[in-house]
Chain A
Amino acid sequence: MLAILRDLLKYNLEFRIGIILVGIVIGLAGLSFFSPYPPTDVYVVAPDVPPSAEYWFGTTSRGQDVFWQLTVAIRNTLLFGLTVAVISRVLSLVIGLLSGYKGGWIDRALMAVNDTFIVIPLFPLLVLFYFVLRDSMSWLLLAVIMAALGWAYDARLIRSVAMSLKTREFTQTAVFSGMTTREILAREHLPYVMPIVFSTTMNNMNWSIGLEVTLSVLGFTDINTPTIGGMIYWANQHTAMVAGVWWWIAFPVAVVIMAFVGLFLLAVSMNEYIDPRSRLSRMGGGAR
């Protein structure tokens, strides 16, 4: 594990940049625990103060310190992405491994459903969910709904690996030594797909955070929980750009872009590392 990290740091520029960006964002999120203000309180400081030594990122028209508000918001946003990613990883692992290993009609049925979820436009569906649930649409419920809708793409990826694992000799050995399907999948195949699971976690977080930001900005989530989208929502409600309170929008947008690019670079560099061909060419060997 440490050796992998060392190799990535040494040979992969994308990984270095990614880890710095994600590190900064996580650091910001960690600072939220030291915030001097309760995150949901308004009018705790003078409103509309531009960035200064006292208020680094200025203050909002609702009398909140943008910097401390931002730390809480990015923490909640990251946590949201992670929750969706973890739940949907479980789904895509179970479905992908089972489908790839079993084959036959189980595979066909699961993949038909899988392809459906890849194709269906999710945004209108999520809007419909919000429309019906309204105020009972909590943070966790939204995470569960998005996880239930967002597993499909990665399940297909995992399935393709599981299909090749099935034909390997150790799988035959496991079958003949009397292991059940569950044991084979959990103990023999799972370790092989873990690298993919890690890299898809980053991409899945990007996907869910992106949708969450969009839904929040439109006011289609629980807007009282501070998130990045929620901050932009309130800034829009107070027409921050027209009023000249640019720091209220600029800093959340900058931080969330850092998070997106960082997570994406981590995912890309991990993918490259998983593929031995591109890993070799990066380390200076290989055919070209």
Chain B
Amino acid sequence: MSGYLAYLAKRLGQFVLVVFIGVNLAYVVTHATPIDPVEQSISAATSFGNTAPEAIEQMRQSLKELYGLGGSWSQQYLTFWSRILRADFGPSLSAFPTPVSALIGRALPWTMGLLIVSTVVTWALGNLLGGLAGYYQRNRALKLMGVVAMGLHPIPYYIVALVLLIVFGFVWPVLPINGGSAMNLPQGWTWAYASSVLLHSILPALSLILIGVGSWFLGMRSLVSNIVTEDYVQFAELGGVNRERILGSYVMRNALGPQVTGLAMSLGGIFNGAIITEKVFGYPGVGTLLVDAVYAGDYGLVLGVTTISILGVSIGVLAIDLLYPLLDPRVQVR
């Protein structure tokens, strides 16, 4: 049990460090630049339409506070942290006076839903197929799948999403390509709304899955094809254990450990992909929020989304890390 506690402490320490370094990066980025961010934001925010001079002055005041530009640098630094710990990023400039935290709170469930479902599907599918491909190396269909995975995997999220958008939006328009649900539906637990949400999520999820499956497939295939040459697998084969059982509980079980660690390590990248995909399909999650906030010059919102993303991803990684000992009993002994 002490092994597990030590593991837990180490993971928690890493979690705190990730959040600390991430937030500090955000601080350095926003404070160590030669440009006056307040004037930048104001000129960007007021370039669309008319804004009353009093409103600009009010904006300037709240921005200065938000950036923590008053007082010595140590005071500024502490103000920055206290705002982040309270998740208080002030009112949004582009959707004045809605607070930034409310906007993010509204967008977060969309992103989390898309991200969790597509990541689970991708990971399970990629590992299952990759495991089969590594074990049944002569199977034609699985070989072909390997070729497809190799071709799809290196292409960045944006390009795949764009191609899907073109195919299903212009060439063969059968699926909705924009938004999280149909415009005129009241939100609620009705069948019409739920099916609309599901239908709208197909393309974003599909583009995430198409790219993601490849790396798990290739990783699992090479892990499994190395494990099958191990002595204990040969022994099991000679002992007449049936092949499905060997693959399931002898080979894949052992290969899952590195793949779970891999999931924790690539979560940041998957998150990047999800928010890019959201923007392409106009999905109402934090990705769309972030990009639109940049266009509107909304500093509080950009900073808010950035820090919440860092926090969210590190919580996700921590959760996966805490599940890992269930899979690898060696952690508890060490």
Give A residues with C-beta under 8 Å from B: 14, 112-113, 115-125, 127-134, 136, 153, 206, 209-211, 213-214, 217-218, 220, 232, 241, 249, 253, 256-257, 260-261, 263-265, 268, 277-278, 287-288
Contact = CB atoms under 8 A, between A and B. Distances in A.
Nearest to A152: B265
A218 B29 contact: no
Nearest to B234: A287
Given A120-B268, A128-B303, A131-B299, A211 B33 contact: no
Contact of B157 (A14, A214, A268, A277): A214
Interface string B256-298: 0000000011011101100110010000000000110010000
B236 to A, nearest CB: 16
B272 A122 contact: yes
Contacts of B271: 121, 123
Given A117-B21, A132-B35, A277-B226, 16 more contacts: A116-B18, A121-B268, A121-B269, A121-B271, A123-B276, A124-B290, A124-B305, A128-B303, A131-B299, A134-B35, A210-B156, A211-B272, A257-B159, A260-B154, A261-B155, A288-B137
Nearest to A267: B154
B124 interface: no
Contact of A129 (B29, B150, B163, B305): B29
B150 A265 contact: yes
Nearest to B286: A124
Q: Which of A117, A121, A122, A136 has the most CB of B within 10 A?
A: A121
B25 interface: yes
A46 B271 CA distance: 42
Contacts of A261: 150-151, 154-155
B306 interface: yes
7 pairs of A and B residues whose beta carbons are closest in the complex: A210-B156, A264-B154, A123-B272, A124-B306, A121-B268, A214-B158, A260-B154
B159 A213 contact: yes
Interface string B192-217: 00000000000000000000000000
A125 B158 contact: no
16 contacts: A117-B21, A118-B265, A118-B268, A120-B22, A120-B268, A124-B275, A128-B29, A129-B29, A206-B156, A210-B156, A210-B158, A213-B156, A218-B291, A232-B162, A241-B169, A268-B150
